[in-house]
Amino acid sequence: MSLKADVQLDAKGLACPMPIVKTKKAMVGVNDGQILEVQATDKGSLADLKAWSESVGHQYIGTKEEDGVLLHYIRKSGDDKGIEKKFEQTIANEEVIDRAANGGMILDVREEAEYAFGHIEGSKSIPMGELEDRLDELDKDQEIYVICRTGTRSDLAARKLSEKGFAKVYNVIPGIGSWNGDLSKKI
């Protein structure tokens, strides 16, 4: 099953350094925060795209292999740590599992591909961009712990939920990027 990507790049059959060169060009057409899927058959692209993403400042999410084709997922300019967080009800990474066990829900607002490569077991995935249209999947009486990678998108999501009348909302700080527990890849 292919994961949801905003832009797809076909770099199949190309040898080094072409997958990198093509990825660099394709990134121009990707907006901040969107996901690029790079399809490649060059085995070197696995290490190269990861190193490239780190060097240039994008978030390398992960790679899966499908019928001999490597599918690399990269999120553009993934570093949003500098943005100020405003939502006041927060909860620490360490506390969230225990709290959720008492009937709360962990809501993961990262992109589908990020969720697929590692999430807290039992958490629900609603990407930030879909949140407004999927509010009916959430329960206003339940405690909701909103999580993302660095706490920035979840801050935004928590504020949005609060505006919509969800009172028991918490932003999980710092988020999956600093998660010490187990992460599941099951979808």
Partner 1 sequence: MSNKVAIIASNGGLFDAYKVFNIATAAAATEKEVAIFFTFEGLNLIHKQAVQQLPMPEGREHFAEGFAKANVPSIPELLEMAQEMGVKFIGCQMTMDVMGLSKEDFVDGIEVGGAVTFLEFAKDAAPTLTF
Give me the active site residues, please.
Answer: 16
DSSP-derived secondary structure for 122-164: TPEE--GGGGGGGGGGS-TTS-EEEE-SSSHHHHHHHHHHHHT
Q: Are 19 and 63 in contact (CB under 8 A)?
A: no
Query: How far apart are CB 120 and partner 1 at their closest, in Å?
Result: 33
Number of residues that bind partner 1 (CB under 8 A): 14
Q: Which two tokens stand for residue 60?
A: 């390398």
Judged by CB under 8 A, which stretch of 15-23, 70-78, 100-108, 166-174 contacts partner 1?
15-23
Q: How many of the other CB atoms lie within 10 Å of CB of 78?
A: 20
| 114, 187 Cβ separation under 8 angstroms | no
Residue 56 C-beta: closest distance to partner 1, Å: 6
Minimum Å gap between C-beta 118 and partner 1 is 26
Binders of partner 1 among 41-80, rule CB under 8 A? 48, 52, 55-56
Least Cα distance to 37 among 67, 64, 68, 77 occurs for 64
* Chain centre to alpha carbon of residue 10: 22
> Counting contacts by CB under 8 A, is residue 16 touching partner 1?
yes
Minimum CB–partner distance for residue 42 and partner 1 (Å): 9
Token pair for residue 28?
């121009």
Q: Interface with partner 1 includes 20 (CB under 8 A)?
A: yes
The residue within the footprint of partner 1, chosen from 4, 24, 43, 140 (CB under 8 A), is: 24
Q: Return residues touching partner 1 (CB under 8 A).
A: 13-18, 20-21, 23-24, 48, 52, 55-56
